């Protein structure tokens, strides 16, 4: 399994044998690897040069990986940095908390190097789709970042600025469930106080705007979890 070439991964893990084992596997897969043993060292490295992805252990001596993930997702400068959280705990609640905290994916130890490389590649692809392309298309619905315009076929879909940002986020992160809290962090940024119900209001407006073009089914409610942008009926 090959990693996406030239991509730089920062591993934050205090247990040296594990860190070195992961680093070895990733270097073999073609990634460029940097290492940090705690959150303080990680933040220093991040300030120095941002990697393409952060592989962050949950249990660290100075601050939990989850807390660091939250901080990074709330900071404009690091908000787009993809994070995979490594955890030794397998409980479902931890996973949900991890994702709400801003991690893009999580892996439960132990895992194979092959599995890790596959996940890293998937997260990198997802983040590139979100960051790089000027135009995103989904079942006839097209969002053009340069003109801030959304079209369905030949027709322009009129959207308010918040609905536009929301749709842009969803279209660049399809097939994944986001909780209200996560959407708040990712779309509004963590620094503003917005009630979670605000999300529902904007979701309703977005659906209504898409309804006339037959695209409202793309925004799906996942009971007890949040919302998902998907072309599949689940």
Binding site for Ca ion (CB under 5 A): 14, 57, 59
User: 37 or 168, CB closer to Ca ion?
Assistant: 37
Locate tokens 């908000």: which residue?
Answer: 79
Shortest Å, Cβ 102 to Ca ion? 19
Shortest Å, Cβ 116 to Ca ion? 16
Task: Name residues whose C-beta falls within 8 Å of residue 192's C-beta, 6 or more positions apart in sequence.
Answer: none
Shortest Å, Cβ 13 to Ca ion? 6
Shortest Å, Cβ 182 to Ca ion? 24
User: 9 or 141, CB closer to Ca ion?
Assistant: 9
User: 10 or 206, CB closer to Ca ion?
Assistant: 10
- CA nearest neighbour of 212 among 144, 151, 137: 151
The residue with its CB nearest to Ca ion is 59
User: 63 or 122, CB closer to Ca ion?
Assistant: 63
Angstrom distance (rounded) from CA 41 to CA 84: 17
Q: What is the number of other CB atoms lying within 10 angstroms of the CB of residue 219? A: 18
Using omega within 30 degrees of 0 as the cis cutoff, is the peptide bond preceding 110 cis? yes
């Amino acid at each position: 399994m090959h990693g996406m070439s030239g991509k730089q991964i920062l591993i934050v893990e205090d247990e040296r044998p594990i860190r070195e084992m992961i680093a070895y596997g990733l270097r073999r897969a073609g990634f460029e690897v940097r290492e940090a043993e705690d959150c303080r060292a990680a933040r220093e490295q991040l300030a120095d040069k941002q990697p393409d992805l952060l592989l962050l252990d949950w249990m660290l001596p100075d601050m939990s990986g989850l807390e660091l993930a939250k901080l990074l997702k709330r900071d404009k400068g690091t908000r787009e940095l993809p994070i995979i959280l490594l955890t030794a705990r397998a409980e479902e609640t931890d996973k949900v908390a991890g994702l709400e905290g801003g991690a893009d994916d999580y892996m439960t130890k132990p895992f194979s190097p092959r599995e890790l490389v596959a996940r890293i590649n998937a997260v990198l692809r997802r983040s590139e789709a979100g960051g790089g392309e000027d135009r995103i298309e989904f079942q006839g619905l097209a969002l053009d970042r340069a003109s801030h315009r959304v079209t369905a076929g030949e027709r322009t879909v009129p959207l308010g600025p918040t609905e536009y940002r929301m749709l842009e986020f969803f279209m660049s992160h399809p097939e994944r469930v986001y909780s209200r809290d996560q959407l708040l962090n990712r779309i509004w940024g963590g620094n503003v106080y917005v009630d979670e119900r605000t999300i529902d209001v904007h979701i309703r407006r977005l659906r209504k705007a898409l309804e006339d073009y037959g695209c409202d089914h793309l925004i799906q409610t996942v009971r007890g979890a949040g919302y998902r942008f998907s072309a599949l009926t689940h």
